[in-house]
Amino acid sequence: MGINLLARAFGSACALYLLLGTAHAQGSVYRCTNTEGKVSYQAQPCAGAGTAQGKEIPLSTRTRPSNTEVRAQPSRPEPRVLEPQRTKPEGKRWGAEADVIVVSGYEFSSSVTQVHITHSARPVLLVLTSYHQTEWKVLPAPGTRIKAVVVGTSDERHSSVKAPPQVPVVVDELPYAYETGNIKFRELMSLLNARYGVERVLGYRGGYKLPEVVPVSGPFVPDPNLTLDGVRPEVPRVRFSFDLISVDGRRLAWTNTGPKDGKRYTGVVRGGTMSSLRGGPAAVREDGSEAYYLEGNGGTLVWAPKGFTGPTQKMTLPANLPELSWGSGMAWNTRKEVLAIVSFGGEGYFYRYDTRNRQWLGARSLQNRDLHGLALNAETGGYVAISERAELVMFNERGEMEEVQPLEKLLPDLDSTYDKGNSRLNSLTVAANGNAVAVINVRNGTVTHIWTYEQGSRKAQLTYKVVE
């Protein structure tokens, strides 16, 4: 039995057909939109979809970094200071009527930050976001037309702006994003789309600490991170199925390309960071007649002999085994009646429990690896797990660690799933099928990404994605 995680169907969907191909495989990926306008990419036709239509989505572009020293431009008339104001109704069209340029950072080298913009092809919607405050000074080159300036803030404080006369300046609650491969930039793109109709960003300048002078000019090079959809999935070289478990303990069929029935599951999938609302790791027998799950901080194993809706019994560990805390992954070999549990924090352990004779079989050290998901590989009898450093960890059927394969640099779009440097990568879980592994990102009860990793070739593809 693979990984156990599942969900309740959410909403109906409509489909736009998108042809994607690789040198290794040809096939179709569907762009599905549910009733709330949420987008997912999957190989199965969208639930409730009629005849699909083809649509190409353009890649976005970003500015090419410059290695040359930037000098301040010649003096020009001092622009007037404009007070930020609330978004006007016409602001919802700005993203379509202008090219969007984003400048974002955490802090600044100077109390005044000059943004020199050279772009005459179309009007410019300039988005300025940061954590700390500065005085933004917008200096367009001759021929550059500024449609509007949007100043992003993360709290009640906001930076001041000096901009050319007659240019609207709007203050908004927007996150800073000092790199495009980060969940903060995905959040920024989502808000810019909802409020200003932005589908893509043309130019981007970002950094943890922005210099006193920030130049923005072409050439602008393609970057899918600067689009609303971001990096798109591709047709997988291999396909396989597994189950996911919902917060109420039901099983639903998934594949490495998305839900098997083509529907969308939102906010109800177990996996990722443990929470009292989403539920911790769980394992359910194939027919749903019996289940195990962890509760609290992952330190209490609960047996549900009649399934999730029946009576329960808390299980205790014998004194000779390490105390169970922060249990983060569970897999059940129902053929051999062995339940496996991994924990993180401190040394971490791999526990095994005999579900037929109802006795603990032992615990092995994880050697300080923090694991956040565990799956049985039914073909080999062993187990696979994923660590918060995106390491794939392989175990034999006795729970002995056999191999560790780093995946961080192999998983496309992984950086967009968390705030690197400020948060932990604790939203991953796994499913296994022979030589293939599905690495699954679950955030707030929703599967947002599935990567298909082939252990033999050590190659990975992004094969499913939800745009939130």
Q: How far apart are CA 272 and CA 420, in angstroms?
A: 16
Q: What is the pLDDT of residues 78-122, one digit of tens each?
A: 544 544 555 566 789 999 999 999 999 999 999 999 999 999 999
Categorize the per-residue pLDDT at 47 as very low, low, confident or very high, splitting at 50, 70 and 90: confident
With beta carbons less than 8 A apart as the criterion, state whether 197 and 96 touch.
yes
Q: How confident is the model at residue 38 (pLDDT cuts 50, 70, 90)?
A: confident
Q: Give the count of alpha carbons within 13 A of 176, CB side only.
A: 22
**Cα angle for residues 123, 126, 129 (degrees, 5° grid):** 170
Q: Considering only the C-alpha atoms of the chain, give the largest distance between any 2 of them, rounded to a whole number of Å.
A: 85
pLDDT of residue 310: 94
CA pair distance 93, 77, nearest whole angstrom: 30
pTM to 2 decimals?
0.82
Instruction: Note every long-range contact of 30-35, with CB atoms under 8 Å and residues 24 or more positions apart, other chains counting.
Output: 30/262, 31/55, 31/57, 32/262, 32/264, 34/10, 34/264, 34/266, 35/11
The pLDDT of residue 156 = 64
- Chain centroid, CA 307 distance in Å: 31
Residue ranges of domains in the chain, CATH in brackets: 80-226 (no CATH), 241-465 (2.130.10.10)
Give the residue with greater pLDDT, 182 vs 19: 182
Helix residue spans in 182-228 (DSSP H): 183-196
Rounded Cα distance, 233 and 416, in Å: 14
Whole-number pLDDT of residue 18: 25
Query: Cα–Cα distance between 342 and 338 in angstroms, integer?
Result: 13
